[in-house]
Chain A
Amino acid sequence: DAGVIQSPRHEVTEMGQEVTLRCKPISGHNSLFWYRQTMMRGLELLIYFNNNVPIDDSGMPEDRFSAKMPNASFSTLKIQPSEPRDSAVYFCASSLLATDTQYFGPGTRLTVL
């Protein structure tokens, strides 16, 4: 079975540009999570969805960040406008239930110049 798929794997952009990260969860999983990982702050949960509905977005740092899950097989995380401090690895993870083991995608390494 295919795991969690993320695209792009690497993104380099300039400050002020819009960035869209994409995630396809494992088929049949009901929960989807977006994380950000940096050396300074570790792994931070940004938002998670249950059955395509956002449940907790308290980790979204600012209004510049938004996430959608239009259907069970696709989610996006958008940053508009991007800033250098947004540079990090962004992981998407999915699980059968929110309390279960999470399966992580390969991550998107974002660099904002």
Chain B
Amino acid sequence: QKEVEQNSGPLSVPEGAIASLNCTYSDRVSQSFFWYRQYSGKSPELIMSIYSNGDKEDGRFTAQLNKASQYVSLLIRDSQPSDSATYLCAVNAGAGKSTFGDGTTLTVKP
């Protein structure tokens, strides 16, 4: 079992819809959770970080964390073609390094 697993994708949604990206992790002591966005040919950039159970909202993005279920998700409301990218989930167990999932590629169709 991988330490961090994401929807295999690719995920395709119409413009204006809600895109839901999911991530599960295996280390129960994980403390910090991150969502990065990576456009094709570019480097990953942070979208959201979340540290405690519940929801965290930033504009059209909402991160949801459930430590009991070892699950973190990212919702993108009113999806735009510019949201088309690969989304990477990263989990940090406090030992220093973050472990990244393989990513989910999202395509938003106009």
Contacts and interface: CB of A to CB of B under 8 A. Distances in A.
Contacts of A107: 43
B31 to A, nearest CB: 7
Interface string B86-98: 0010101010111
Contacts of A42: 100-103
A105 B98 CA distance: 16
Interface residues of A, number: 20
Interface stretch (B16-24, B44-52, B57-65, B70-78): B44-52
A43 B97 contact: no
Majority SS at the chain A contact face = strand
A99 interface: yes
Given A99-B31, A101-B34, A101-B49, A48 B96 contact: yes
Contact of B96 (A91, A99, A106): A99
B44 A104 contact: yes
B43 A106 contact: yes
B32 interface: yes
Given A45-B97, A91-B43, A107-B43, A99 B92 contact: yes
A56 interface: yes
Nearest to A49: B96
Contact of A43 (B44, B45, B49): B44
B93 to A, nearest CB: 9
Given A42-B103, A43-B44, A107-B43, A102 B98 contact: yes
A45 B99 CA distance: 8
Interface string A37-61: 0000011010010100001100000
Nearest to A98: B96
B97 A48 contact: yes
Given A48-B96, A55-B96, A56-B97, 14 more contacts: A31-B96, A42-B101, A42-B103, A43-B44, A43-B100, A48-B97, A56-B96, A98-B92, A99-B32, A99-B92, A100-B32, A103-B46, A104-B44, A104-B45
